[in-house]
Amino acid sequence: MRSTNAVASRQRRKKVLKQTKGYQKAPRTSYKLGKQAVTRAGQYAYRDRRVKKREFRKLWIKRINIAARENGINYSALINGLAKNNIEIDRKTMAEMAVNEPAAFSAVVTAAKK
């Protein structure tokens, strides 16, 4: 009698088809197409976890630049001033301050101008 290891094979296929929940048409029900779709989705997810970091940094820089220009200085000069005055504050925090606490951001800009 031939040994097929059917239990492990079925579990492997069920695991892939469980990951295709929410997909439409054949990839949801077909193992072959589902496996391709899951693999591709995993590649996109891996890539976009890195892209997300880039996109957020770009967004923070844009917000800081807009708020800095309202305070009479551009982004480049602000970052340069902060570096020269040894003020270590990350862009995420500065962007949050620029949006929610304009007075605190103005104080940071004043410190950078000195």
CATH number for the domain including 65? 1.10.1900.20
> CA-CA distance, 48 to 1, in Å (whole number)?
48
Tokens of 10: 């079925």
Average pLDDT estimate for 6-33: 96
Residue 1 within any structural domain of the chain: no
Residue 67 within any structural domain of the chain: yes
Q: Which residue has the tokens 């925090």?
A: 93
Quote the pLDDT of residue 17: 97
Residue 94 within any structural domain of the chain: yes
Domain count, the chain: 1
Residue 44 within any structural domain of the chain: yes
Contacts of 58 (CB under 8 A, 6+ apart): none
> CA-CA distance, 78 to 84, in Å (whole number)?
10
Per-residue pLDDT of 64-114, as tens digits, reads 999 999 999 999 999 999 999 999 999 999 999 999 999 999 999 999 998
Quote the pLDDT of residue 40: 97
**pTM here?**
0.79
